[in-house]
Amino acid sequence: MSAVIPACETLALRLDGWCLHLTFNRPEVRNALNERMWREISGVFSAIENDRSIRAVVLRGAGGFFCAGGDMKERATIALPVEGGEDPMFARNRMGGRILTQIDRAPQAVIAVVEGAAMGGGFGMVCVSDIAFAAADARFRMPEVTLGIPPAQISPFITRRIGQSQARRLALTAAPIDGLEAAAIGLVHEVCADVAVLNAALAGVLDRMARCAPEALAETKMLINLVGTVGIEEHLDIAARSFVKAVRGPEGREGAAAFRDKRKPDWGEVA
């Protein structure tokens, strides 16, 4: 059964077959992440978590700007802690990390398409994507230290994505980089000269993904994310069980039949 995708105030959603286009839609503030946007993003990913009819989610920003990071005006309104109680700022900040983890672990392929700039939390969104495209003139930056704060919830995802050396350089200097440098350090996978090329690159990867089985995509992401969290022998046992389940299941049977019959597999019949 297909998921019921919730209506959103801060996101523009468009379902195109098996691909969900999720656009950050606060262009008047360069798509800054306020609490409502965070919660709506989480709600969408929760709604599609078990829906294998959706194989990919494309993250993009309205108005030619990916995401300016956290909403500074909203942050200023968060109340001071009650004496002896936990600071509400803790829960607000920690929420961002939980949602980045949710995106990171989504069974769908997450594709980031970056125009304009990806800053702070927007930078983090790119780091939890599976595939990332950027315009050549896109800008990536972690400005947190210039605001007197650390890049708290995005730091582990950034370090995993680009390595500790580059993460230290960018986080400790707040230096901006463009799309070309982002590709050079492994933050994005492809740089595009303009929007037309960007759209063509996205269309190309979606065309390739049309051949990929939805449950196999989910299992592959799970196995990749498992690296380093368990020992190698346990990992390989989990992988073997995943493989057997796939071979014996409807996707494995359809894949084998399509190979035998020299035709494209029909994943719509088994999703």
pLDDT higher than 90, residue 261: yes
Sorted by where each begins, the domain ranges of the chain are 11-209, 214-269
Domain 11-209 has CATH 3.90.226.10: yes
Alpha helices in the chain (DSSP H): 35-48, 72-75, 88-104, 121-127, 155-173, 179-184, 195-209, 214-226, 232-248, 250-261
- As a whole number of angstroms, the distance between CA 111 and CA 206 comes to 10
pLDDT, tens digit, 9 for 90 and up, residues 15-63: 999 999 999 999 999 999 999 999 999 999 999 999 999 999 999 999 9
CA nearest neighbour of 70 among 152, 8, 169, 156: 152
Q: What is the value of pTM for the model shown?
A: 0.94
pLDDT, tens digit, 9 for 90 and up, residues 110-160: 999 999 999 999 999 999 999 999 999 999 999 999 999 999 999 999 999
pLDDT, tens digit, 9 for 90 and up, residues 70-121: 998 888 888 788 777 888 899 999 999 999 999 999 999 999 999 999 999 9
Q: Could you tell me whether strands 109-114 and 131-135 are parallel, antiparallel, or unpaired per DSSP bridges?
A: parallel
pLDDT, tens digit, 9 for 90 and up, residues 161-218: 999 999 999 999 999 999 999 999 999 999 999 999 999 999 999 999 999 999 999 9
pLDDT higher than 60, residue 271: no
The amino acid occupying position 65 is F
- As a whole number of angstroms, the distance between CA 116 and CA 270 comes to 39
Residue 269 pLDDT: 64
Q: Which CATH class is domain 214-269?
A: mainly alpha
CA nearest neighbour of 36 among 6, 79, 4, 3: 6
Residue 79 pLDDT: 75
Residue 1 pLDDT: 46
Tell how far CA 229 is from the center of its chain.
20
pLDDT, tens digit, 9 for 90 and up, residues 209-231: 999 999 999 999 999 999 999 99
CA nearest neighbour of 110 among 161, 76, 74, 145: 161
